[in-house]
Homo-oligomer: A and B are copies of this chain.
Amino acid sequence: MSRLFAPTLREAPAEAEVASHRLLVRAGLARQLMAGVYTMLPLGLRTLRKIEAIVRDEMDAAGAQELRMPIVVPSEPWKATGRWEAYGDLMFKLVDRRERELGLGPTHEEVITPLAAADLPSYRDLPVNLYQVGWKYRDELRPRFGLIRGREFLMKDAYSFDRDEEGMRQSYRAMYEAYRRVFDRCGLEYVVVEADPGQIGGGVNHEYMALAEVGEDLFVRCENDDYLADVEAATPAAPPTAEGPGVAALEEVHTPGAATIDAVSSLLGRPPSRMLKCMLYAAGEADVAVLVPGDREVNEEKLARLYFPVPVSPFGEADFARRDLPPGYVGPQGLPADVTVLADPSVRAGRDWVAGANRPDHHVTGAKQGRDFRVDRFEELVRIREGDRCPNDGGELSIGRSIVVGHIYQLGTRYSEPLGATFADEDGTARPYRMGSYGIGISRIVAAAVEQHHDEAGIAWPRALAPYEAVVVPTNMDVPRVVAAAERIHGELTGAGVEAVLDDREVSAGVKFADADLIGFPVQVTVGRRGIEEGVADLKVRATGERFRAPLEGAARAARDLLAAAP
């Protein structure tokens, strides 16, 4: 450690909001170069490499093959798939000296798909799963939390090519299982959930979410453990459809200045759940109204997915003016036929809604679907919340926080179609590949692991991810017998294949102990003046804090036993 470039710090950087960011910097694993962009110092790089090795091992075992695609990518295929627009500012874009537009790849569907078309021309070449481990780029609006949401991050991305849907599902299942093994081996506590495909597009997809209090990725879980979903993909059980007669007539009421659900609710003495929220959106050239009960929010990610790749944005002032509708007083009654009216199934539960009257300072009561307003299509569009009911068994749903560390997608022909990527099938027909894509956030795993394995004193690495497995600490560098014993134990450990460092720095024992706890070596072996006299070394398991003593000559063996049992 006297030569190791592992600069530890007593103070965390001011901008570090979460433990992993603070500790990765303080323990000398990473340094920020600029917002969302980090240098990995030697210890941090070792941890990254360990995760890479686990990932490669499981990918190879699952029959995938590694290649390496460029980081700078041409814009043309991205324009063909619509993602050049869809990513927008989130993609780093540049122009080369020949004025050609280029991007820095956030994922590589647009590179691998044409490659497959050129080099996997026949059904006999399929199935194939190709992966790479490389740095990816997203120009995040708010990069934060260190390695959790960076603008440059290390990913493993894999792409499967199959002849048909059944083959694609098989490839997907193989990856689904391989991913579980990766995250198990990384020592992460995680859940696998149904998820929203986001900008990648496609159909069935799952997220691997590492549980973390600071995580920004929310998931929904049923109290009976039979439902798990990403909060953006989750669908609560809809309340029962209202039935029977006895519905009031439509009536206009004066509601001056009551342009919000809460205001109308107070004014009319009706709970927000009895109000009908009518939100307007522009989806490209078309206009869309979305109806949800007044106490619910629209899940705009799902709405965006319905219209992907056409961008969807809430009505602005100009939009309201164009339609001659009063913001805050819009209701579904009498909306023009060219406004698509979508409603969440929960709207079926009401029969006499309070809604805007499409006239300033007025609402209606007794609005009824079918009689007073039309619904063109029902879509599950309410954002889920704590206490909603499980769609499987009606159990109570709760919301958990996590960091997404893996995401797998059944893409179908989402990319092969627009890119014209086809293979010759047995009968000679040109058919588009059925694809899957599979990502693991390797640098993010580093941060997620620290979030799950740390305490006040520092990081407590699981053995599989630790930059070094053990540290040997001679407390008195001025006592030759102490140094000699520590060197011998260190030599025995490395000789036995343990990744161990010797803390031979000329600093106080207190500094060495603090750094050992901060960096988080799973096992610490301490040799001091008194220990030498008694013929013993002190051992400590970082994760549990347990302490042991062992005879000097058996210390390396004892350290190995503790490591073998360590998490």
> Any chain B CB within 8 A of the CB of A118?
yes
> Any chain B CB within 8 A of the CB of A204?
no
**Cα–Cα distance between A280 and B4 once the two chains are bound (Å):** 52
CB distance from A153 to the nearest CB of B (A): 11
Known contacts being A33-B74, A152-B71, is A97 close to B45, with CB within 8 Å? no
Closest chain B residue, CB of each to CB of A443: B68
> Any chain B CB within 8 A of the CB of A130?
yes
Of the stretches A87-95, A182-190, A225-233, A311-319, the one at the interface is: A87-95
Q: Which residues of B contact A379 (CB under 8 A)?
A: none
Interface range for A: 35 or more
> Any chain B CB within 8 A of the CB of A41?
yes
> Any chain B CB within 8 A of the CB of A69?
yes
Known contacts being A40-B67, A92-B96, is A31 close to B119, with CB within 8 Å? yes
Known contacts being A5-B119, A31-B119, A111-B33, is A67 close to B96, with CB within 8 Å? no
The quantity of this chain's copies bound in the complex is: 2
Query: Which residue of B4, B5, B152 is within 8 Å of A72 (Cβ)?
Result: B152
> Any chain B CB within 8 A of the CB of A48?
yes
Contact A45 B74, beta carbon cutoff 8 Å = no
Q: Which residues of B contact A461 (CB under 8 A)?
A: none
**Cα–Cα distance between A69 and B30 once the two chains are bound (Å):** 10
Q: Would you list 19 pairs from A and B whose C-beta atoms are within 8 A, ordered by A residue?
A: A5-B128, A7-B120, A33-B70, A34-B100, A37-B70, A39-B69, A39-B70, A39-B115, A41-B67, A44-B68, A45-B67, A45-B68, A71-B135, A71-B152, A72-B137, A72-B151, A93-B94, A96-B139, A96-B151
> Any chain B CB within 8 A of the CB of A81?
no
Contact B119 A73, beta carbon cutoff 8 Å = no
**Cα–Cα distance between A146 and B5 once the two chains are bound (Å):** 37
Residues 43-63 of chain A: 1 if any B CB is under 8 Å from the residue's CB, otherwise 0? 011001000000000000001
Known contacts being A5-B130, A31-B115, is A139 close to B70, with CB within 8 Å? no
Contact A69 B33, beta carbon cutoff 8 Å = yes
Query: Which residue of B34, B42, B69, B141 is within 8 Å of A97 (Cβ)?
Result: B141
Contact B65 A5, beta carbon cutoff 8 Å = yes
Contact B63 A3, beta carbon cutoff 8 Å = yes
Known contacts being A33-B73, A94-B94, A97-B139, is A5 close to B42, with CB within 8 Å? no
Those of A6-40 within 8 Å (CB) of chain B: 7, 28, 31, 33-34, 37-40
CB distance from A508 to the nearest CB of B (A): 15
Closest chain B residue, CB of each to CB of A90: B97
CB distance from A79 to the nearest CB of B (A): 14
**Cα–Cα distance between A69 and B45 once the two chains are bound (Å):** 10
